[in-house]
Structure 1
């Protein structure tokens, strides 16, 4: 696909979550169903290998097979796609950038090398080196709250100045990046998107799309037609997540797969890869009942292939 630009990188992007078998292998048959459901949901794009998609667990063989599947199906469907090349090792991340670039995604998502915190010059060198491996494909930098290297406003501006291949950021909120919203596509957490758009955010790599891809798109559209209603839905989303999802006490991939199980839009399951624990499927029906009462607009999903278990 043509390379994305900061000005057209926008909207609700859905994460390709990994269906995991009891033996810890990826179920690629179910994965194809997940990708097809996402592509048919109306999301503005799909992406791989975020935290929720457990990028840190993938072997090279799994990485390549996953990306070949997504690139082929997204290209055939005409849906923009981004490939995540993140890895805690800078050397392995750079190699994965090269392999992702060969599939010509709209952009490649990266994180900074993670074992040791980076100094500012090292941060710039890391992003510049990954950009150099991308063969003209632009980059999106993900800097989550748990990253060892936290990038402040001044360093973000330096990256925008010195690495022209950088077109977007995923950050917890707009506060540290408001001065860059006219230069980079700033993406925020999915459940903060309505208020984030008012502050300049371009979109989200969305945990709300984990719950309901089609519902997340409906909410995006509502932000343009009824701002008050969109903000009210955000308030209820935040409350639902704070009261019923975060207290489960599991890592983010397990929580996002729980959201997907609540939404019943694809056969993902709640299992995550070793050594992390996951939410029992037995807990899902009660959570679904709460979500259907609190968030009916999101879960009124017209997709025909709803999962019943």
Structure 2
């Protein structure tokens, strides 16, 4: 695929979840099947090795196999795709990037080095060398709430002026003040917000979502994305029900039971039943028991029936 600029990175991008066997080994056959399903669902794009793809739990051979599999399938199908080259170590992240450039992703996702918070000067130094290694492929900065440094739009804007290869931002978003700052400081970037906030996010100037909602049902998330551009009023009504579903039936696994975010995204894929990725998180992270799925599925069928 050709590299995409900021204006071209938009809409509903679905994650490629890793699939683990009971012994903790990577099941590439199931990963490959999942990529085929996502391509058949005709989502706006696919990305690998984010938090839900468990980039932090992969060894380098596994990272290469997943990246090569996604690239081959998407390049053959003409499907836009991004590869997450993130790692807590700047050195490993740089080497991952150098190894995937020849796969021609539409963009690459990176996090800032994450053992000790980087200064502004260090963040610029990191992104500049990553941009040089990317050889014209744009960088999407993945800056989740649990990052060691969570940047506001003004800070991202300063980075993008010094590193013009910065194409996009993956963020948790914020309130109306945050969106006003986004429109002021980074109107030139592709800004992606959480999937269940996509309608209100686009209404306030965001570009799309690397979508948690797509973990539940990528095809339904794609239909909703198209509805946003055609009938915002109806899309916002669905967003209210999605927020209720997430607040009451997904978020408590994090806030009350202490599961990690990736476990919730994987659990939603189990609830949605669109692909055989399983509920297993890789050691040492806990997996949400599949026995919880019928209760959550029943609630989803009531609140957001179009996703089931």
- TM-score normalised by structure 2 residue count: 0.95
Find 1:191's aligned residue among 192, 196, 199: 196
1:102 is paired with a residue whose SS is helix
The CA deviation at 1:154 is 2.8
The CA deviation at 1:122 is 1.1
Aligned position for 2:303: 294
In the aligned structure 2, how far is the partner of 1:110 from the partner of 1:185?
14
Task: Judge conservation of contact 1:98–1:135 (CA < 8 Å) in 2.
Answer: no
Find 1:254's aligned residue among 263, 271, 277: 263
1:1-309 correspondence runs (5 A) = 1-173=1-173, 175=178, 176-248=181-253, 249=257, 250-299=259-308
2:287 is paired with a residue whose SS is coil
1:124 is paired with a residue whose SS is helix
Structure 1 stretches of at least 4 aligned residues deviating more than 3 Å after TM superposition: none
CA displacement 1:227-278 (0-9 Å, x = unmatched): 1111111111111111111112311111001110111110011111000001
Task: Judge conservation of contact 2:154–2:186 (CA < 8 Å) in 1.
Answer: no
In the aligned structure 2, how far is the partner of 1:279 from the partner of 1:16?
19
CA RMSD of aligned residues (A): 1.1
2:134 is paired with a residue whose SS is coil
In the aligned structure 2, how far is the partner of 1:236 from the partner of 1:125?
43
In the alignment, structure 2 segments of 5+ residues that lack a partner are none
* Number of equivalenced pairs: 299
Question: Which region of structure 1 is more displaced relative to structure 2, 172-181 or 204-213?
Answer: 172-181
The CA deviation at 1:287 is 1.1
In the aligned structure 2, how far is the partner of 1:292 from the partner of 1:168?
34
1:47 is paired with a residue whose SS is strand
In the alignment, structure 1 segments of 5+ residues that lack a partner are 300-309
